[in-house]
Amino acid sequence: GAGVSQSPSNKVTEKGKDVELRCDPISGHTALYWYRQRLGQGLEFLIYFQGNSAPDKSGLPSDRFSAERTGESVSTLTIQRTQQEDSAVYLCASSLDGVLDEQFFGPGTRLTVL
Amino acid sequence: KNQVEQSPQSLIILEGKNCTLQCNYTVSPFSNLRWYKQDTGRGPVSLTIMTFSENTKSNGRYTATLDADTKQSSLHITASQLSDSASYICVVSRNSGNTPLVFGKGTRLSVIA
């Protein structure tokens, strides 16, 4: 079966524009996670979905960031009014049931804000 | 504070040599600890997972150890290959509360010929 897929793979945008990043988890995985990884840095947790609800939004860095998940499947991460410090790789992962299960990561979306 | 510290930050070794990466954590309540390998430009891939009662787990040339008393883990790579060049990330899962997963910043390993 297919792994976690993300699109686009690369996104270049101008400061102030909104961007949407998409994640398609492994079919049947109920948990989905978004992370941010700045160049040369570790993974930074953003948000976690169990089904379509997000019990943990503690990592969202500001109100410019939002995420939703529909049909217990695809998720979109939206960044409004992008800033240069938003430049990073945004990684999505899914796991079968919950946070204690192994996470399978997608290839990431590299976002560059000019 | 729940933290995962990894050392060294980076490491360069010759092909064929062994190396050991360290992970110290202050995470509670502890559930499990995973080591991930992240190739450049790719998402992390799980290598091993250990629960509280497990001391050692191997996956090919990778052997992870866990000392739950001292809250330390290590990842030992035997007979390194050029393809082992990657970042190795230690991740500790908590049993409850927010921030269920605590990530280390990783060790960047370069294996050279």
Phi, psi of A65 (to 5 degrees): -100, 135
CA dist A64 and B67 (Å) reads 41
pLDDT score of B98 more than 60: no
CA dist A36 and A42 (Å) reads 9
pLDDT score of A55 more than 70: yes
Interchain pair A41, B105: CB under 8 A: yes
Check the CA dihedral A28-A34-A38-A41 and report its sign. Answer: negative
3 state DSSP class of B24: strand
pLDDT of residue B102: 86
pLDDT of residue B96: 65
CA-nearest of B21, B32, B22 to B54 is: B32
Structure confidence by residue, pLDDT tens digits, A62-100: 999 999 999 889 999 999 999 999 999 999 999 998 777
Confidence class for position B85, pLDDT limits 50, 70, 90: very high
B106 has a chain A CB within 8 A of its CB: yes
Structure confidence by residue, pLDDT tens digits, B1-38: 788 999 999 999 999 999 999 999 998 888 889 999 99
Interchain pair B103, A45: CB under 8 A: yes
Question: Which tokens hold the place of A31?
Answer: 């948990």
Q: Which residues of A touch B (CB under 8 A)?
A: 4, 33, 41-45, 48, 56, 58-59, 91, 93, 99-100, 102-108
Interchain pair A100, B31: CB under 8 A: yes
Structure confidence by residue, pLDDT tens digits, B53-66: 889 999 999 999 99
Structure confidence by residue, pLDDT tens digits, B33-46: 999 999 988 888 98
Confidence class for position B97, pLDDT limits 50, 70, 90: low
Chain A nearest C-alpha distance from B111 (Å)? 18
A42 closest CB neighbour out of B31, B41, B103: B103
pLDDT of residue A4: 95
Chain A hits for B89, CB-CB cut-off 8 Å, are 42-43
- Chain A residue with CA closest to B93: the answer is A100
pLDDT of residue B94: 82
